[in-house]
Amino acid sequence: MTITERKNGDVVILDVEGKILLGDGDVQLKRKLDELAEMKKVAVLINMAGVTKIDTGGLGEFRRYNQARNTFRNIC
């Protein structure tokens, strides 16, 4: 899995490609989102157009950040 970060105004866009699987892609995604949270980046959009497979590990990361809306203003 690869994550490419780009910006559009104050929105950070993460272009995710490949597989988000337990123990691999989910760890990369967690690290990137944690990094953005530490930097106080509050508007995050995750572009999953290039994701070919996702399992419960990947879904768990999205759920974790969906519940942490006090960290990010918008999670899409």
pLDDT at 74 over 80: no
pLDDT at 73 over 60: no
Residue 45, judged by CB atoms within 10 A of its CB (0-12, 13-18, 19+), counts as middle
pLDDT band at 69 (very low <50, low <70, confident <90, very high): low
Query: Higher model confidence: residue 4 or residue 27?
Result: 4
Take residue 10 and report the two structure tokens written for it: 């104050």
Q: Which domains are delineated in the chain?
A: 2-75 (3.30.750.24)
pLDDT digits (tens, 9 = 90+) for 11-45: 999 999 999 988 877 788 888 888 887 777 668 88
Q: Provide the whole-model pTM.
A: 0.79
Residues 6+ apart with CB under 8 A from 48: 16, 54
Whether residue 15 contacts residue 50, with contact meaning beta carbons closer than 8 Å, is answered with: yes
